[in-house]
Amino acid sequence: MTEAANARTNIALLLVILVLSAATMVWLFWHYPLITSLVTLAVLTALGVSARLARSMDTSDLSELQRRNQGV
C-alpha cells in the first residue's frame, strides 16, 4: 500500500512540474517571443551538441574496454 501511494505521489509531482514548466514557457513566449525562441534554440542546440559529444566519447571508451577484454 505504501509503495502504491509513493508511486502516485511521484506521478503527481512529475505532472505538477511538467505543468509549471509548460505554463512558464507559454507565459515567456507570450510576453517575449523573440528572446524566448532564441534561448530555446540555444538550449536545444547545446543539448544536441552535448549528446553528440557524449555518444562519441562513449564509443571510444567502449572500444578501449573491448581491447582490454581481448587481452585477458
Say if CB 30 and CB 19 are below 8 A apart.
no
Output b/e per residue, 7-23; b: 16+ Cβ within 10 A. Answer: eeeeeeeeeeeeeeeee
- Model confidence at 38, pLDDT cuts 50, 70, 90, reads very high
For the cut 90, the answer to whether the pLDDT of residue 67 exceeds it is no
Say how far apart CA 4 and CA 23 lie, in whole Å.
28
Q: Would the pTM of this model clear 0.95, i.e. be above it?
A: no
Q: How confident is the model at residue 57 (pLDDT cuts 50, 70, 90)?
A: confident
